Amino acid sequence: MKFFIDTANLAQIKEANELGILDGVTTNPSLMAKEGIKGEEAVMNHYKTICELVDGDISAEVVSTEFNAMVEEGKKLAAIHPNIVVKVPMIKDGIKAIKWFSDNGIRTNCTLVFSAGQAILAAKAGATYLSPFIGRIDDSNWDGIELISQISHIYSVQGYKTEILAASIRNALHIVRCAEAGADVCTCPLDSILGLLKHPLTDIGLAKFLEDAKKFA
């Protein structure tokens, strides 16, 4: 399973990248707004900076909702860097745009996915990645991980090439369960990635080893 970081914060992207395990970055309009980025030029420059920091796929989301506008916006985003993946919402015009991008060699990430039916449509349209929102499904009292398993089964049975990119990750256990359920990629906040490191027995064991090491230093 590939690891993406789910943020537009440059310091966090650098920190995750320095671990050596980062395969890409996902952003969305809310994450960009959180960083105080305003105006088309600033947005484009921010994506360019992220592409220069990380050698992997970088999702940049369109904010248009009409087919022609999505295509124009997506073309501009894709022109920033070869690693840009155009993120498109799961709506009717979004599916048309994903098909257009797929036919024209532009890679896509279909976002705001909450059902297996949506996952089938996105795969049929030729999406490169599919982003089911695990945490938001859990928040609404359904099982986000179960959806990853279901889509993984369908894609395997049908031979769809679209990669399942588990999104809306809230903790380290989500990452482990996504790996178990067959996600191809997990996009995670930095805290959830670092949460994978934690185990009290590791801390206790290391403290004891360091204490004992003093005896033969």
Binding site for ligand E4P (CB under 6 A): 6, 26, 28, 111, 131, 133, 135-136, 167-168, 187
Beta bridge partners of 4: 24, 187
Dihedral class, residue 72 (left if φ above 0, else alpha if ψ from -120 to 50, else beta): alpha
Q: How far apart are CA 180 and CA 196, in angstroms?
A: 15
- CA distances 138 to 89, 128, 169, 188, Å, are 20, 25, 10, 16
Q: How many CA within 13 A on the CB side of residue 203? A: 4
Minimum gap (Å) between residue 98 Cβ and ligand E4P: 15
Degrees, nearest 5: CA angle 158-117-86: 85
Minimum gap (Å) between residue 170 Cβ and ligand E4P: 7
28 or 152: whose CB is closer to ligand E4P? 28
194 or 208: whose CB is closer to ligand E4P? 194
Minimum gap (Å) between residue 58 Cβ and ligand E4P: 11
Active site residues: 87
Orientation angle between helical segments 40-53 and 10-18, nearest 10 degrees = 10
Minimum gap (Å) between residue 1 Cβ and ligand E4P: 15
146 or 203: whose CB is closer to ligand E4P? 146
**Dihedral sign (CA 95, 96, 99, 100):** negative
Contact between 97 and 71 under an 8 Å Cβ cutoff? The reply is yes
Minimum gap (Å) between residue 29 Cβ and ligand E4P: 9
First vs last C-alpha separation in the chain: 41
Contact between 97 and 91 under an 8 Å Cβ cutoff? The reply is no
81 or 217: whose CB is closer to ligand E4P? 81
131 or 152: whose CB is closer to ligand E4P? 131
